[in-house]
A and B are shown apart, each in its own frame.
Chain A
Amino acid sequence: MSTRIFGSGIKRREDPRLITGEARYTDDIKLPGVLHMAVVRSPYAHANIVSIDSSAAEAMDGVVAVYTSEDIGDGLAGLPTAWLIPDSDLKTPEHPALAKGKARYVGDGVAIVLADDRYRAQDAADAVVVDYEELPAVIDPEEAAGEGAPLVHDDVEGNIAFRWVMGDREASDAVFDAADVVVSERILQQRLLPTAMEPRSAMAQYNPATQELTLWCTSQNPHIHRFIISAVTGLNENKVRVIAPEVGGGFGSKIPCYPDEALVSWASIKLGVPVKWTETRSENYLITIHGRDHVQHVEMAAGNDGTLLGVRATVYAGMGGYLSTAAPGIPTILHGLLYVGPYTMGSVFCESIGVMTNGTPTDAYRGAGRPEATFLLERMVDNVAREIGMDPVEVRRKNLIPAFEDGYEVATTLIYDSGDYPAAFEKALDMAGYGDFRRQQKSAETQGRYLGIGVTAYTEMCGLGPSQVAGAVGFQGGLWESATVRVTPTGKVQALIGASPHGQGSETTLAQIIAEELGFPVDDIEVIHGDTTETPMGWGTYGSRTTPVTGAALAQASRKLKEKARVLAAHLMEANVDDIEYADGSFSVKGSPDQAQSIQDVALMAHLAWNMPEGMDPGFEESQFYDPPNFVYPFGTHIAIVEVDAETGVIDLQRYIAVDDCGPQINPEIVAGQIHGGVVQGAAQALCEGAIYSDDGQLLTGSMMDYCMPKADMFPNFELGETVTPSPHHPVGVKGVGETGTIASTPTVYNAVLDALAPLGVTQIDMPLTSAKVWSAIQDANGGGS
């Protein structure tokens, strides 16, 4: 038996083209006669558009047209919100592709310029004169929901787009009233800028003769983009082709369908020539969705013995100026349902209020609702520990759900698939040397050095998800995936998938699944994605779902092929099917191993169809639609060790231990890469990232000069460990791992820093924990003395 390809850390086949700059992104695609689109954007967060004078711009060299909302008229329908959460009194205010009469955030599109050159388009955009009447703006979601706040949309009363409630308020109150201990905190989940390495880009080419539109764009879900572009342009869906070429990261920010994609499509239809738009990084920060933006009022109830009894929260979730594609589902379904975490806690209550503000629209950002839940939970567990004077590790250990293999229902009504939380927890503590650390910490303190440790136990729901659940929670789509495994006559494999990976390494891992199932060499398998005409329908790559859902579809399609191969091999070898044995891509007859048919031989014979068994169709290709019966629930324990320089407030992240369980690992190198990236992104929320607006709604962190992206030298080498608990419902047992790092690391690092600061009397600092804020908190705790 050769080394199993499943579980082998082979190199990512995507990397050579990415590293050498040979990958072809949307902006790399050149079409003759293309017009470049520049967008005139509102410099005000909230303003009436009194008039637009484009005459000077239109007269400039190379300018073909300038269009406003009025010119578009009903040529483009408003952009839809596609997650209509039920029982929440949801309002979905109109989201026109260009602002109609009023701009609602800085960057809201007001007019478009089309010119023969990108520079000239920008020159002309600068020459469009817009007369604005500035209106009072509101950015903070809690303020926006308050009395007398400026109204963002006239038809969204009190700026409240929805009010979603999970759990029974009275039952929750009863638990809290009877509890020994109640701790509370106001937690700010600051706005984050997703900052994919490749900014967004879109190019549309409409062919008037065939009435077909091709849209190349930076999409995590080209089939959803096709669906929405068809809806907003009125073109039949089968006349729209959406291609996501190489996509340079998304982190959720390339899920939504934005005005820009609709505008290039409309302009290309209008003018009959290709139209291209690529955002600058400045535009990316202004207009591409932001993540998080919660103000959370959280309480946790516990017994004096450390038993966790319940959690409840009121969440004000900033939606920005419009409701983005999936926005309402993020601070609700994907948030509240995680409130139990890995604990046996019996009572949960969440009221999540979606609030329109004059900020950039928010939507799914890596983890999407689940990091915000895990943070509040883990923060409150540490608060309980402090309140009752118990070690936070002891509190967690006492409350972890014991190991289970197939189904565990929790108070949020979710049924976790499988887990062994204590095993991962103890492994991480061993790796960290928790007891030794606590001793070092004490001795360091006597020398005026402040060390801290943060321990997070987590589980999360991903592999989104059963379509029936999607429907029940108002997601305006299915959440299954489909895949075709197509073998050519010469025995090479094309795997066509509806999902659209964009940096995750799925071309490698999915090929490993097929290689494992069918015995083809992994290098003979191509995974093809990102084109609605070439690939079967799928709902996209997000929610850590491509390996769990598409991977399952591919495994099942491969198994169908394998069964066909077995029958055909038996027929070709004139043997009974029951006597056929399979090993390493070869079918042989039991007892006569010299007689064998390789999978490639069988594929060729299936294509030639010279000698098929009765009733078997020719060809060697199978498709599978796969709708998962449940989410998958990866889990683990993360630990951070930090030292805080009390003189400056600078945090040194010294060690980071991550023990994650995503079931059997298809490719440990890729799993490690996902965890590394996720941990960095999540830790950066704790340490340095945060979008800041001025009171009048100007984004003050408009570039990387001010918005602090994490850098490699801020991190130690991560210490990774694993446990392996297969998902009982998945064909190959795997769970998602794309978001676990981001979900676990923010509270881990935050709690470590606050642990370090505990001897100084600091108990709370809003994220991000910049040295200036840490230093100020130390000064304040010392009564202002330095």
Chain B
Amino acid sequence: MWPNKFDYVRAGSVDEALSSITDDGKFLAGGHSLLPVMKLRLDAPEQLVDIGRIPELQGISANGGLTIGAGATHDAIATSADVQAMCGALASACGQVGDQGVRNFGTIGGNIAHADPASDPPTVLVACGATVNIQGADGSRSVGAQDFFVDLFETDLKDGELITSVSLPNCSDCQCAYVKFPHPASRYAIVGVAVCLKMDGGACAQADVAVGGATVKAVKCAGAEAALAGTTLDDAALNAAAEAIKSDISDWLAGDIAYPESYRQQMAGVFLKRAVAAAQG
């Protein structure tokens, strides 16, 4: 409720933001992850550099693939016709973040920089092969979403670096879905499963699968993918994938007092099946 004292700077450009940030500073975008922890005094940055109004970080563009500005809000992504067409699972995930008030303020850049393991968008970004575009004092670089998320609340982002945008391949010829089992208290994911299926006739040519919520970070699930690929997604394949996904995530499990790791691990299998059904529906 009562944050520690901090300095506040509003940046007008990415360059200004990068030159303003101090060692004990943090970038502030929508503030819906950062401000609550500051109010609880779990974090106490001495400086906030507000990047919420930087024009370069805004907007969603479609040009072969999708480029989503780091400052795009969850609501903007969820309601974007381009995102809905090219990656419906991401639109769905962003539409399930928090409540409408949170979605109106919270941004994709802030969301992935915070790297809450139970948040929805990272799971889809990992499944769909997104790229995170980053700028720092020494220039810009890009990193795959799978490598971007390192561990619990930990990313590949270095001090002083800023996420500028997220790119996604055009997934419009895939069947993709994000299915979430919300925690009854927080409505974060107990488990969230994203699938992206490339179908060839009745068979699944390629499956991309990621899990969040049940894990300390969004995890790509190679075992489940292999179990689905090359099948007609029949019950035997789904059962095999549901078993495989439990192994895929076994090194990364997370839980809480009410919904322990073991339960979430089992539910990953259940929700994989539901995600595949949703993708095909």
Contacts and interface: CB of A to CB of B under 8 A. Distances in A.
B4 interface: yes
A119 B55 CA distance: 33
A280 B1 contact: yes
Given A122-B2, A123-B5, A701-B257, A648 B267 contact: yes
Given A118-B2, A705-B185, 8 more contacts: A122-B2, A692-B257, A705-B188, A706-B258, A770-B258, A771-B263, A775-B266, A776-B263
B258 A772 contact: yes
4 tightest Cβ-Cβ pairs between the two chains A and B: A708-B185, A280-B1, A122-B2, A772-B263
A574 B185 CA distance: 70
5 contacts: A122-B41, A280-B2, A688-B185, A701-B257, A706-B186
A776 B266 CA distance: 11
Contact of B41 (A126, A700, A705): A126
Contacts of B188: 705
Contacts of B41: 122, 126
B105 interface: no
A714 B181 contact: no
Interface string A97-130: 0000000000000000000001100110010000
A607 B62 CA distance: 79
Interface string B1-26: 11111000000000000000000000
A51 B215 CA distance: 42
A711 B184 CA distance: 8
Contacts of A772: 258-260, 263
A122 B5 CA distance: 11
Contacts, number: 55
Q: Classify chain A's interface size.
A: 20 to 34
Most buried by B among A126, A648, A692, A708: A648
Interface in B129-148: none
Interface string A742-786: 000000000000000000000000000011100110000000001
Nearest to A773: B258
A706 B185 contact: yes
A528 to B, nearest CB: 32
Q: Classify chain B's interface size.
A: 20 to 34
B40 to A, nearest CB: 7
A771 B1 CA distance: 32
Interface string B40-66: 110000000000000000000000000
Given A714-B184, A776-B263, A706 B257 contact: yes
Nearest to A647: B270
B235 interface: no
Given A700-B257, A772-B259, A648 B185 contact: no
B185 A704 contact: yes
Contacts of B263: 771-772, 775-776
B251 interface: no
Interface in A685-730: 687-688, 692, 700-701, 704-709, 711, 714
A58 B216 CA distance: 42
Contacts of A55: none
Contacts of A771: 259, 263
Q: Is chain B's binding surface mostly helix, strand, loop or mixed?
A: loop
B2 A119 contact: yes
B234 interface: no
A282 B1 CA distance: 9
A412 to B, nearest CB: 36
Contact of B266 (A701, A714, A786): A786
Nearest to B271: A648
B187 to A, nearest CB: 8
Nearest to B40: A282
A700 B260 CA distance: 14
A572 B66 CA distance: 87
A772 B270 CA distance: 13
Interface of B: 1-5, 40-41, 181, 184-186, 188, 256-260, 263, 266-267, 270
B40 A770 contact: no
Given A119-B5, A280-B2, A692-B257, A707 B266 contact: no
Given A282-B40, A705-B186, A648 B4 contact: no
A705 B258 CA distance: 11
A281 interface: yes
Interface in A657-709: 687-688, 692, 700-701, 704-709
Contact of B184 (A126, A282, A770, A776): A770
Contacts of A118: 2
Nearest to A687: B184
Contacts of A775: 263, 266
Nearest to A770: B258
Interface in A436-486: none
B257 A709 contact: no
Contacts of A688: 184-185
A123 B4 contact: yes
Interface in A263-285: 280-282
A775 B263 CA distance: 8
Nearest to B258: A770
A688 B266 CA distance: 20
Contacts of A126: 41
A704 B183 CA distance: 11
A648 B274 CA distance: 12
A688 B184 CA distance: 7
Nearest to B185: A708
B281 to A, nearest CB: 18
A648 B270 contact: yes
Contacts of B2: 118-119, 122, 280
Contacts of B3: 119
Contacts of B186: 704-706
B256 A706 contact: yes
Given A708-B185, A709-B185, A770 B270 contact: no
A282 B266 CA distance: 32
A770 B266 contact: no
Nearest to A117: B2
Nearest to A714: B184
A123 B6 CA distance: 12
Nearest to A688: B184
A489 B199 CA distance: 84
Most buried by A among B181, B258, B266, B267: B258
A294 B84 CA distance: 51
A438 B124 CA distance: 43
A126 B2 CA distance: 11
Contacts of B40: 282
Given A704-B186, A705-B186, A706-B186, A770 B259 contact: yes
A642 B27 CA distance: 47
Contacts of B5: 119, 123
Nearest to B2: A122
A711 to B, nearest CB: 8
Given A281-B1, A775-B263, A648 B258 contact: no
